[in-house]
Amino acid sequence: MPASRLDPKAIPRHVAIIMDGNGRWAEERGMSRIEGHRQGLESVRAVVRAAHELGVQTLTLYAFSLENWNRPKREVDELMSLLEFYIDAELPEVQRNGIRVTSIGRLERLPISTRAKLEEAEAATRDNREMQLVFAVSYGGRAEIVDAARKLLRDAEVGKVDPEQLDEKSFAAYLYQPELSDPDLLIRTSGERRVSNFLLWQIAYTEIFVSDVRWPDFRKTHLVDAIVDYQARERRFGLTSEQVRS
Ligand code: IPE
Ligand code: IPE
Ligand code: MG
């Protein structure tokens, strides 16, 4: 029983995942990249369920980056319809499990139908408190910081903020979803050791775990592996080990 390796009292509150490797998974099997994305949806299903079972409070999934808009149109279209399909297929279970769905990113760039589905999921699950599932779609970390700066400058112009009073906390209030806690654990699948413009502001002190497993093969047992690894670490936040332990 893999979950028994875990300390149930030290489950990361917020887990963020860069779901990578769908294309390679498919290519390795002589399939089209799109087949990889379809299979990847099974992993989303499994991991949302697993995170809920393990007691994770927030799960943020990087589903589509701003840079991903530059992929072939056919692939982009398929990814958008898969997201819509996921919401249609999973909303009943998500609802039963008390999961609240939200999204972050430049959502105005999404096709109307995709945006409508995300809004539908958000409205339907607004009062759920068991877990929060955040989709980062059309998302870029630098863009989020720029968008925050733009809103802040507008408020400064009309005298709503005083530049001299600005600090990290008041700046963060302009991010897409300021009430989200910073991720405790960031998982990237499929071996690449980079953050690819994900949650740049929020991962300042996040623990990073890179799994070699391709996203379409990623299941609860791999999530448990990541959390077990996380639980063996000492988060020092700039302090000495001695300070942290006392
Ligand atoms: C992740 O898999 C899905 C998205 C980025 C939308 P990829 O499509 O990036 O798969 P690889 O990295 O090419 O294997
Ligand atoms: C990051 O994966 C984006 C998502 C998982 C949605 P990419 O495959 O786009 O990242 P790079 O290009 O390898 O950095
Ligand atoms: Mg990739």
- Tell me which of 68, 97, 147, 182 is the catalytic residue: 68
Q: Is 68 a catalytic residue?
A: yes
Instruction: Give the model's pLDDT for residue 3.
Output: 53
3-state class (DSSP) for residue 117: helix
Asked whether 12 lines ligand 1 (CB < 6 A), one says no
Q: Are strands 99-104 and 14-18 parallel, antiparallel or unpaired?
A: unpaired
pLDDT tens profile 17-34: 999 999 999 999 999 999
pLDDT tens profile 213-224: 999 999 999 999
Residue 56 Cα, ligand 1 centroid: separation in angstroms? 25
Please tell me the number of the ligand nearest to residue 37's CA.
Answer: 1
Asked whether 22 lines ligand 1 (CB < 6 A), one says yes
| Residues near 187 by beta carbon (within 8 Å), at least 6 away in sequence | 15, 16, 17, 18, 209, 210, 211, 223, 226
Cα separation, 123 vs 241, whole angstroms: 44
User: Measuring from each residue's beta carbon to the nearest atom of ligand 2, which residues come in under 6 Å?
Assistant: 18-20, 62-65, 67-68, 192, 194, 196
Asked whether 23 lines ligand 1 (CB < 6 A), one says yes
Q: Mean pLDDT, to the nearest integer, of 178-201?
A: 98
pLDDT tens profile 161-185: 999 999 999 999 999 999 999 999 9
Asked whether 152 lines ligand 1 (CB < 6 A), one says no
Residue 85 Cα, ligand 2 centroid: separation in angstroms? 21
Cα separation, 2 vs 214, whole angstroms: 20
Cα 32-193-77 angle, rounded to 5 deg: 30
Ordered by where they begin, the domains of the chain are 10-245 (3.40.1180.10)
The sign of the CA dihedral 92, 94, 98, 99 is negative
- DSSP per-residue codes, 119-149: HHHHHHHTT--SEEEEEEEEE-HHHHHHHHH
**Number of helices and strands (H, E) in the chain?**
8, 6
Residue 111 Cα, ligand 3 centroid: separation in angstroms? 22
pLDDT tens profile 90-110: 999 999 999 999 999 999 999
Note the Cα 120 to chain centre separation in Å.
19
